[in-house]
Amino acid sequence: EPEVTQTPSHQVTQMGQEVILRCVPISNHLYFYWYRQILGQKVEFLVSFYNNEISEKSEIFDDQFSVERPDGSNFTLKIRSTKLEDSAMYFCASSRQGVDNEQFFGPGTRLTVL
């Protein structure tokens, strides 16, 4: 059964450093998402991506964040200058269609900012 994969599983970085989180969505899916989950809290939407551009983003997704689909299979989230409060689990999700279609989540990347 196809699944969303994410690397790395755990990333530790120093405050102010740049990090890139990587995702490989399910191959025939067209809509891609990033969510984050601070420890013990709910999952929060960051950004959606379709047709090689951002479709929608939340207030969390400020200028420090960017997304890219560099090669037709990977989908990346970059945080330019990490802050302590960026420490969280980051989940990638993909969907075949969009608005009312199932979203499948990857296993997540745990980001720890020291």
Nearer to another protein, 48 or 82 (CB): 48
Q: Which phi and psi (to 5°) does residue 85 adopt?
A: -75, -5
Q: Work out how close the CB of 16 gets to another protein at its nearest, in angstroms, rounded to a whole number.
A: 28
What DSSP string runs through 22-37? EEE--TT--EEEEEEE
Q: 11: part of which helix (H) or strand (E)? A: strand 10-13
Question: Which residues of this protein are in contact with another protein, per CB under 8 A?
Answer: 4, 31, 33, 35, 41-45, 48, 50, 55-56, 58, 91, 95, 97-108
Nearer to another protein, 18 or 53 (CB): 53
Nearer to another protein, 89 or 113 (CB): 89
* CA 1 – CA 57 distance, rounded (Å): 29
